[in-house]
């Protein structure tokens, strides 16, 4: 993943729409379009390999529209400029975290010491339970 190319393609390809926000702002809420709706076409992203793009589509399938757009909203702040920055950060972090391909787990065997510890604890548990039994009548 090339983060610089990805960042530049997000900045170039994002479409921002502004709306009235229901968040904080008092009387300002009714006058200013401070909410930001950011959308970007997944196909236009640069800096991702084909495998990363497939991983992105799979993980974000619930957030991607039929047209192939990723939608993010931001209305946390009273200020449109800060909401714009927040929306761009959210898009980038979503894409980066969803496109990351996890390392394949390689199975390992338990060590000799861990086997010994397990068996010793089993022996100790067994002996403590056997001490609870009443003595056998002979």
Confidence of residue 29 (pLDDT cuts 50, 70, 90): low
> How many CB atoms sit inside 10 A of residue 47's CB?
18
Spatial CA neighbour of 98 closest among 135, 37, 129, 53: 53
Indicate the pLDDT class of residue 84, thresholds 50, 70 and 90. Answer: very high
Contact in structure between 95 and 10 (CB atoms under 8 Å): yes
Per-residue pLDDT, 116: 98
Between CA 6 and CA 138 the distance in angstroms is: 82
pLDDT of residue 28 exceeding 90, the answer is no
pLDDT of 55 higher than 70: yes
Tokens at 120, concatenated = 């010793």
36 vs 26: CA distance, rounded Å: 18
Dig out the tokens for 77 from the structure.
Answer: 């702040």
Other C-beta atoms closer than 10 Å to the C-beta of 68 total 12
Domains of the chain are 3-99 (3.30.160.20)
Kindly tell me if the per-residue pLDDT of 94 is higher than 90.
Answer: yes
């Amino acid at each position: 993943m090339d983060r610089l190319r990805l960042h530049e393609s997000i900045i170039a390809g994002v479409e921002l729409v502004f709306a009235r926000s229901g968040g904080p702002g008092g009387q300002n809420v009714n006058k200013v379009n401070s909410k930001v709706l950011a959308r970007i076409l997944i196909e236009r992203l640069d800096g991702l390999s084909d495998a990363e793009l497939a991983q992105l589509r799979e993980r974000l399938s619930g957030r991607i529209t039929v047209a192939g757009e990723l939608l993010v909203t931001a209305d946390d702040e009273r200020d449109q400029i800060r909401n714009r920055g927040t929306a761009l950060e959210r898009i980038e972090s979503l894409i980066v975290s969803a496109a990351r391909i996890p390392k394949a787990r390689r199975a390992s065997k338990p060590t000799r010491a861990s086997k010994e510890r397990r068996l010793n604890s089993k022996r100790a548990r067994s002996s403590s339970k056997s001490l609870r039994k009443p003595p056998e009548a002979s």
